[in-house]
Amino acid sequence: MAPQISTLRRALFMPAIASRFMAPSALSRSFSRSADEDCSTFTVDIAVQFKGHNVEPPAQVVETSAKELMKFFKDMSRMRRMEIASDQLYKSKLIRGFCHLYDGQEAVCIGMEAALTKEDNIITGYRDHCTYLGRGGTLPEVFSELMGRRNGCTLGKGGSMHFYKKENGFYGGHGIVGAQVPLGVGLAFAQKYEKVKGVTFALYGDGAANQGQIFESLNMAALWDLPAVYVCENNHYGMGTAEWRSAKCPEYYKRGDYVPGLKVDGMDTLAVKQAVGFAKEHALSKGPIILEMDTYRYHGHSMSDPGSTYRTREEISGVRQERDPIERIRKLILLKEIASAADLKSIEKEVKNEVEDAVAKAKESAPPDPSDLYSNAYVKGYGTQAFGCDRKHSTVVLP
Amino acid sequence: MRAPPSTVRASKLVTNAVAVKSETASIAATKSGHELLLFEALREGLEEEMERDPRVCVLGEDVGHYGGSYKVTKGLAEKFGDLRVLDTPIAENSFTGMAVGAAMTGLRPIVEGMNMGFLLLAYNQISNNCGMLHYTSGGQFTIPVVIRGPGGVGRQLGAEHSQRLESYFQSVPGLQMVACSTPYNAKGLMKAAIRSENPVILCEHVLLYNLKERIPDEEYVCCLERAELVRPGKDVTILTYSRMRHHVLQAAKSLINKGYDPEIIDIISLKPFDLHTIGNSIKKTHKVLIVEECMRTGGIGASLRASIMDNFWDYLDAPIMCLSSQDVPTPYAGTLEEATVVQPPQIVKAIKQLCG
């Protein structure tokens, strides 16, 4: 997709880009290792214009560094590999039930992490594998949980839709569409109550955007100036229903009415980083704001949905060719001569091995102990008895 | 339509009909202590806990500046501020969800449903998030919320405002549920519920708010899982809770005059049942009558009968009798409404049938 840079910006930034091309020797680093450490910043244009609703959009340029771009590439490649591996595991019946994959949308969670800290909270719906990884989760924890093993991130009892990491500010992982948004407002309420200088990002999809509780909780967040940012990950399809068939107004960033909104190209990691940083500032000083991330999922809604009955294969492959977030970062890295194509290939190989090792390890690990059926139903000290379904097979005192 | 002020005044007028002073008021029948009404006892418990722990906060409709539609939170917003006694918009689903989210980070919110029936709108948040998050997160999150509000059949409030939700919540795993019936246990259970790390539903009753009793001056906390022995006896075990306790006590006067010796137990804990206290009583009397206000189908009595049969079958001399409300929406007309709910003469009749 041709970057739509305004003529003014072109005039401002052409010299900078030109100088880089004019002195290639200064840039000939052939090893990604040094690129990984290079923190010197430079600016990059954001191709697609931000669109603001009742707010002045942030600048169309963002600061980044070689180190950051290399990290984006590696992290997104890892996430992509993880989702593809999950696809295969589901097809081999090692993952059961529901499995909602995030491939295509990686730029949203990676861009968010680049602008946030652990003081900030993230809460999302069921498409949470990559968001979990972004918040400090590890591949073995993910695969063990997906396969229902005891060393999974929620002890094998949550499953795909219930990943949590409290110490890193990741509050899940929720199965009921939209129900996580009032929880997110509660997290923001607690931040205000405890005077913590952080912001809560409550993520939901274009399908959930029509839930009443979104508007109810938005009203409360705006009324009490809670540090909440609503992020609508608009991948244009609520399972099989396209946005134009379910929403009278599919411009989700405008639906806050009295709450400002910003539309962001959700396939551009740097645009997401810029927007999220902007939104965090806004939430801390002026109150809630809605971010609409224009993104896309390659897979169907879940593994039971082929994803091609309500959209064409050409559309899917078209987006993959023109807007894929990983390819964008790859092109940027190559353009800036931060690393070579071979370096990037070897990173991809490294990440593939990481994923395969984690899968192998998870396959070996043990399922939960039968006594785990009763653990954590109530907090320790409850002391009441629970029975197996025939009241004879097992009788346990709830710990 | 929400409870208009006239209903609040109306419930003050009918005090005598319902407020049967319990003959064996558990502890504080002495000159020490102080006398107060049930809603004041709830407020006292709430205030003490809010003073004790700054993480305790209240949220609900009209709890702050208005003081609560049943005056349970009167004066608290002035004392603790608007953030700790939060007036919410009319959005039960969302503010219950908000309370759960706040609890996930360590706050201890108390959600007031203006009427328990309104909390049906929040059922998803209560069942899925409140009840389940401790389990699905592998123990990472505790949800120490208290969800409280008045339920039960009032004085001609109409079908939608006369709901008994205890039967709907009783099968949700992860929740704990108690019902208060006197000022003494109201204060004690409020304090216990706030201190509990588990989500607790505290069922209050619209018609019991003006019950008067003398309670101790010293601090006390009731046990959430223990039933209350109201009157020891040996002929029959009567299990009851909430408003029906008072109907049972009224019937007991007549029964005692006729020579019966009923053991009356207020079960208090609706989830889980205190089978220890209940079992000891059944082993003594061998006959059980359950008197409840919720509907017959799928009610608390239905579960309790099943539990008793499973555990104490060998001790029973007669089938377990259960008196519940009729399986109808509560009608508006006074006579019909009276017929929906169990009345003292029916209790007397049932005991005569059971004991001979």
pLDDT in tens, A9-25: 443 334 434 334 444 44
Percent of chain B predicted with pLDDT > 90: 85
Contacts with A121 from chain B: Cβ below 8 Å: 105
Task: Give the pLDDT confidence score for residue A6 in this predicted structure.
Answer: 43
pLDDT at position B23 is 42
Rounded to an integer, the average pLDDT of A58-71 is 95
Question: In this predicted structure, what is the pLDDT of residue A382?
Answer: 60
B185: distance to nearest CA of chain A, Å?
A: 20
- Yes or no: say if A293 and A266 are a contact pair by the CB < 8 Å rule: yes
Contacts of A163 (CB under 8 A, 6+ apart): A128, A129, A131, A132, A137, A142, A145, A153, A154, A170, A172, A173
The verdict on a CB contact (< 8 Å) between A164 and B141 is yes
ipTM over 0.85: no
DSSP of A374-388: TTTSS-TT---EEE-
**Percent of chain A whose predicted confidence (pLDDT) is above 90:** 80
The position carrying tokens 């993952």 is A95
Q: Would you tell me the crossing angle of helices A66-91 and A341-364 to the nearest 10 degrees?
A: 40
What are B49's two structure tokens? Answer: 């806990």
Determine the Cα–Cα distance for residues A349 and A332; give it in Å rounded to an integer.
Answer: 20
Report the pLDDT value the prediction gives residue B59, as an integer from 0 to 100: 96
Residue B53 has pLDDT above 90, yes or no: yes
pLDDT digits (tens, 9 = 90+) for B193-225: 999 999 999 999 999 999 999 999 989 899 898
Q: Which residue of A has its CA nearest to B102?
A: A186
Tell me what pLDDT residue B337 has: 92
CB pair distance less than 8 Å for B101 and A153:
no
Task: For an interface test with A, give the residue of B50, B59, B100, B105 to mutate (most A CBs within 10 A).
Answer: B105
Interchain CB contact of A266 with B (< 8 Å):
no
CB-based contact, B346 to chain A, within 8 Å: no
Residues of B with catalytic roles: 92, 161
pLDDT, residue A387, reads 56
Give contacts of A162 with chain B, Cβ < 8 Å.
136-137
Say if the Cβ atoms of A166 and B310 lie within 8 Å.
Answer: no
Residue B277: how many other CB atoms lie within 10 Å:
20
Amino acid (one-letter) located at B10: A
Q: pLDDT-based confidence at A103, cuts 50/70/90?
A: very high
The two tokens of residue B348 are 């007397």
Which A-chain residues 62-91 have CB contacts (< 8 A) with chain B?
A: none
Q: Does residue A227 belong to the interface with chain B, where contact is any CB pair within 8 Å?
A: no
CA distance A69 to B199: 45
A101 SS3 class: coil
What is the average pLDDT value for chain B, to the nearest integer? 90
Q: What is the largest CA-CA distance in chain A?
A: 81
pLDDT band at residue A210 using 50, 70 and 90 as cut-offs = very high
The C-alpha atoms of residue B305 and residue B303 are separated, in whole angstroms, by 5
Q: Who wins on pLDDT, A109 or A394?
A: A109
Q: What number is the average pLDDT over the span B133-161?
A: 93
Residues facing residue B112 across a β-bridge: B60, B148
More confidently predicted of A289 and B67: A289
Residue B20: predicted pLDDT: 41
For B179, phi then psi, to 5°, come to -130, 125
Q: Tens digits of per-residue pLDDT, A143-202?
A: 999 999 999 999 999 999 999 999 999 998 999 999 999 999 999 999 999 999 999 999
For residue B355, pLDDT beyond 70: yes
Biggest alpha carbon distance in chain B?
59
Kindly list the residues from chain B whose CB atom is less than 8 angstroms away from the CB atom of residue A213.
91, 93-94, 97
- Which candidate from B106, B109, B139 shows the least CB-CB separation from A376? B139
Question: Residue B176: its chain A contacts at CB < 8 A?
Answer: 378
Average pLDDT over residues A300-324: 93
Distance CA A165, CA A139 (A): 13
> Two tokens at B202?
């505290």
Number of other CB atoms surrounding residue B286 within 10 Å: 17
- DSSP annotation of B71: S
**CA angle in degrees (0–180, nearest 5) for A171-A111-A106:** 80
Yes or no: say if B237 and B214 are a contact pair by the CB < 8 Å rule.
Answer: no
Which of the pair, A47 or A4, is modelled with greater confidence? A47
Confidence of residue B257 (pLDDT cuts 50, 70, 90): very high
Residue B326 corresponds to which tokens in the numbers above?
Answer: 């009729």
Q: What is the pLDDT of residues B70-92, one digit of tens each?
A: 999 999 999 999 999 999 999 99
